[in-house]
Structure 1
Amino acid sequence: MMPVYIHLENVCFAYPGQTIFHDVSLTLANDKKTILIARNGAGKSTLIALIAHMLQPDQGGINVMVGDQIISQTHFFQRLGLCLSHPYLLDDFNVHENLRIFASMYQHSEKQVDPTYLEQLINLFGLQPLLYKKCKMLSQGELKKVCLTRALMHQPDFVFLDEPSNALDTRAKDLLSEHLKTLDALVVIASHDRQWAAEIGHQVLTIENRGIHAL
């Protein structure tokens, strides 16, 4: 796989009355899986939202690169796998329908979903018995497994996971960590579970004093 990067340059971001980041510069690459460890409210989810282009910095810039080329937002979104801390699915549709609908979004891109790989993920997370169950009837742990499958099914080059181990049992957490280790992607995981996350990541970062620092 060609090297991929995300470059943050002099990034500032604030919510009303609260500065989260000030003059942050950082490079993330697919040769290191990155773990974000910080207290609640420090900005882990905000950083995920910024690098996922869900939020825009107040100052500074965030560039996404494949090789030495900056790619467009459209191409980035096609290459992005995202699982937020609060799972979002189409509640009145079943699991199979949700996965089919989201898979269709990639059918005209270079990241089309490989049915064999999707089946592997379904088996990995034990979703087979849930495929025809409406998502509004799922437990939090089951919802998280579906969202993780949705995030990974198109084999993205960029994988951003916000508290992915929340609501998962020990076996599911172990299966997830082993799978994430195999990915040839730029992986960023925000987690409060430092012991679990440290087994996956090569680079551990924390957020303090409106900056991002290596641990």
Structure 2
Amino acid sequence: MFAVVVAGGFGVTGTIVGVVMTTWLGRSAERRRLAAEDDRRWLADRRRVYAAFLVLSQSMLREIDGVAVFLPYRGDEELADEDEAFMTDGLMHYIARWDDQLQPALSDLLLVAGSGVADLADRVSGALMELTAVVEKRGPFVSYYPGWFRAQDLLGVLRNAMRAELGLNDAIETNYPRDSEWPWLKDRPSEEEYIRRQTEIQGRPPLTTCEKARLVESKDDKSASSDPS
């Protein structure tokens, strides 16, 4: 009888332990699931905020360039009245966007960014305002464009830092200004090669003077580049 009671006790205890373990494992799995969902939401929020700041910054970089293009190139040229009016209006609109759009976007970013991204984003914001100095003074374009390329490079550094925080550790290297071959791939057929291939098509009309000139020009360029002298 005692053995039966003991065996029954062990059975009940085992059942209780099994229930407790099952409950604990279930709660543990639920906590992990909720934590994973929180991580995904956090990553999605961060990605959304980062993308918004990048798009806005790039848009403003293009906008200030569209205003600065009317600057006198060397500084000794006279500005036309209509160019002066356009630059004044364009600069006012740009500064308003910097205040009303970029600064709120920067504030959103600072809530979710790591220290590295936060610092770089703040620098980009400062660079976008600093670009206005030459434009406000109506200085020469040659004093403006180096700062523009520097701001573009800073934006690229920020983008790669954002990618790293989002789990993408392969940096995107973008050099400015672009080389003469961009955007085409150097190991793919050139436009002249596609012209040459037309001569292999039976029944195609003869090449035009323009097409022939392109082929001759291409050959001359290749000969010049291969000449060691």
TM range (shorter): under 0.3
Between Structure 1 and Structure 2, the one with more helix by share is 2
* TM-score, structure 2 as length reference: 0.26
Larger RCO (alpha carbons 8 Å, 6+ apart):
1
Higher-Rg structure is 2
* TM-score, structure 1 as length reference: 0.27
